[in-house]
């Protein structure tokens, strides 16, 4: 396995799973990769093709749950970075493997790669299957009460995994054979299944914030804060306006050589300034007039989610999450389409934001403002003139 390919998957592909529901986070992707490669040892295959297909198989969840397998294929075909390691024919095999992985697919996978990814994606560990079913329900049907989630869990497990369900094993001697039989026994014992559901439901109702609060108590008690003690004034008199993308959380300050206390880092979706009175320029003005900043870096990044985003994509998700059509209609009259519009050219967006900051009527002329694009994988900075 080439180290450069692994580095790309680790930096560019797997972090995307952080935005998906709890049943399809990075741990799920890593498990599919591991299981696919383990089963693949019995076959004459290209390990890198299988590894990449497994890593990318659920990327389409960023677009649409129901057609995510097809959207994953589109994302793979559109990823020009993959041509560094694969021929166009191999990229097509990877895309087809992602498209063919869904358990409810009517047709069998078109290649051994699709069969291996599909079988690995099943991951039939009864307790995990039940927990993931609960997690998915909580994420996608928040309006249901506890009994509603139980009924949904029971119906889904019977439809997919019980005898006569639509899930079929694809690999002879699959490690899923024995666990599937155990899961079917649990489904038949409804009282036992209910007890597992109760445990999962109570544990999943704990929020990530609850976990953070527990960690925070330990952090303070162990004086983990001591290496980070500083004051409010940025030591390098620098402010950075950048994107909230999770890939930049540690990469950007490391790539810029910034330590805690060196700079004011201001984040929003895209790292843009939308108007003369938005929070980005407000924060910059505070940093300049109150905290001594005299240089500003505007830093967009490659592969930004704000590139090509728009209200048309958000609207169905808003409706699904309970925002009424009447409320959206009122917001549409107020210009929500423009407000949630992304950009189509990253460098042009950098220039536009830099120009808006420089020309702001409250921006002093002695402040330096420069624009950049950072590579989301390597951290390399390219200045935009």
Q: What's the average pLDDT block by block, 10 residues per block, for the chain (385 residues)?
A: 95 92 88 93 95 96 90 96 97 96 81 94 88 90 92 95 88 88 95 95 84 92 95 96 95 96 96 94 97 97 88 89 92 92 93 97 97 96 96
Is 214 part of a structural domain of the chain? no
Q: pLDDT value at position 305?
A: 87
Picking from 188, 204, 220, the residue at the C-terminal end of a domain is 204
C-alpha span between 184 and 176 (Å, rounded): 12
* Model confidence, pTM: 0.54
Please state, in angstroms and as integers, the Cα–Cα distance from residue 149 to each residue in 16, 137, 156, 170, 206, following that order: 27, 6, 10, 30, 16
Q: Name the DSSP letter for residue 167.
A: -
Q: Report phi then psi at 249, rounded to 5.
A: -50, -50
Same structural domain for residues 20 and 165? yes
Is 60 part of a structural domain of the chain? yes
Picking from 204, 223, 254, the residue at the C-terminal end of a domain is 204
C-alpha span between 364 and 354 (Å, rounded): 14
Same structural domain for residues 140 and 275? no
Picking from 204, 222, 251, the residue at the C-terminal end of a domain is 204
Same structural domain for residues 245 and 198? no
C-alpha span between 100 and 105 (Å, rounded): 7
Q: pLDDT value at position 140?
A: 86
Is 104 part of a structural domain of the chain? yes
Is 370 part of a structural domain of the chain? yes
Same structural domain for residues 35 and 141? yes
| CATH label of the domain that carries residue 240 | 3.40.1050.10
Q: pLDDT value at position 320?
A: 85
For every residue of 219-268, DSSP letters joined together read HHHTTTTGGG---SS-TT-EEEEEE--TTHHHHHHHHHTPPTTSEEEEEE
Is 327 part of a structural domain of the chain? no
Side-by-side strand order, sheet with 295-301: 263-268, 238-243, 295-301, 368-374, 381-384
Same structural domain for residues 236 and 197? no
Same structural domain for residues 266 and 190? no
Same structural domain for residues 269 and 365? yes
Same structural domain for residues 22 and 133? yes
Q: pLDDT value at position 174?
A: 86
Same structural domain for residues 179 and 241? no
- Per-residue b/e over 106-124, b at no fewer than 16 CB within 10 Å? eeebebbbbbbbbbbbbbb
Same structural domain for residues 178 and 294? no
Q: pLDDT value at position 170?
A: 85
Same structural domain for residues 25 and 128? yes
Is 211 part of a structural domain of the chain? no
Structure tokens at 320: 């699904």
Total count of domains within the chain:
2
Alpha carbons within 13 angstroms on the beta-carbon side of residue 106 total 0
C-alpha span between 92 and 35 (Å, rounded): 22
Please state, in angstroms and as integers, the Cα–Cα distance from residue 27 to each residue in 40, 52, 59, 205, following that order: 20, 16, 14, 19
Please give the residue range of the domain that contains residue 160.
Answer: 3-204
Other Cβ atoms less than 10 A from the Cβ of 249: the count is 12
Same structural domain for residues 277 and 198? no
C-alpha span between 354 and 331 (Å, rounded): 28
Is 330 part of a structural domain of the chain? no
Do 21 and 135 meet the contact criterion of CB atoms below 8 Å apart? yes
| CATH label of the domain that carries residue 114 | 1.10.3210.10
Other Cβ atoms less than 10 A from the Cβ of 237: the count is 16
Is 154 part of a structural domain of the chain? yes
Q: pLDDT value at position 221?
A: 96
């Amino acid at each position: 396995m080439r180290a450069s390919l692994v580095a790309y998957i680790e930096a560019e592909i797997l972090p995307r799973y952080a935005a998906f529901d709890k049943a399809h986070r990075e741990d799920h992707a890593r498990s599919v990769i591991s299981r696919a490669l383990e089963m693949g040892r019995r076959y004459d295959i290209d390990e890198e093709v299988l590894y990449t297909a497994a890593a990318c198989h659920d990327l389409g969840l960023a677009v649409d749950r129901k057609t995510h397998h097809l959207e994953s294929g589109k994302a793979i075909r559109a990823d020009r970075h993959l041509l560094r390691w694969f021929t166009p024919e191999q990229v097509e095999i990877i895309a087809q493997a992602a498209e063919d992985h869904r358990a409810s697919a009517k047709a069998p996978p078109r290649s051994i790669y699709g069969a291996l990814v599909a079988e690995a994606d099943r991951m039939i560990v009864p307790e995990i299957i039940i927990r993931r079913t609960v997690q998915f329900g909580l994420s996608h049907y928040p309006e249901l009460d506890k009994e509603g989630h139980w009924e949904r869990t029971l119906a889904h497990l019977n439809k997919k995994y019980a005898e006569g369900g639509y899930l079929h094993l694809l690999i002879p001697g699959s490690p899923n054979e024995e666990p599937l039989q155990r899961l079917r026994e649990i489904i038949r014992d409804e009282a036992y299944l209910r007890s597992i559901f109760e445990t999962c439901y109570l544990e999943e109702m704990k929020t990530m914030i609850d976990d953070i609060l527990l960690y925070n108590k330990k952090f303070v008690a162990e004086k983990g804060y001591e290496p980070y003690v500083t004051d409010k004034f940025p030591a390098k008199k620098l402010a950075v306006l950048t994107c909230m993308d999770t890939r930049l959380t540690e990469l950007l300050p490391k790539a810029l050589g910034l330590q805690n206390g060196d700079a004011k880092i201001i984040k929003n979706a895209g790292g843009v300034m939308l108007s003369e009175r938005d929070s980005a320029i407000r924060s910059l003005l505070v940093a300049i007039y109150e905290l001594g900043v005299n240089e500003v870096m505007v830093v967009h990044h490659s592969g930004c989610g704000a590139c090509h985003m728009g209200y048309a994509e958000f609207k169905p998700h808003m409706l699904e999450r309970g925002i009424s059509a009447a409320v959206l209609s009122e917001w549409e009259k107020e210009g929500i389409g423009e407000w949630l519009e992304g950009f189509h050219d990253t460098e042009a967006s950098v220039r536009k934001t830099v120009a808006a900051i420089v020309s702001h009527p409250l921006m002093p002329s002695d402040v330096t403002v420069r624009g950049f694009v950072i590579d989301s994988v390597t951290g390399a900075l390219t200045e935009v003139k």
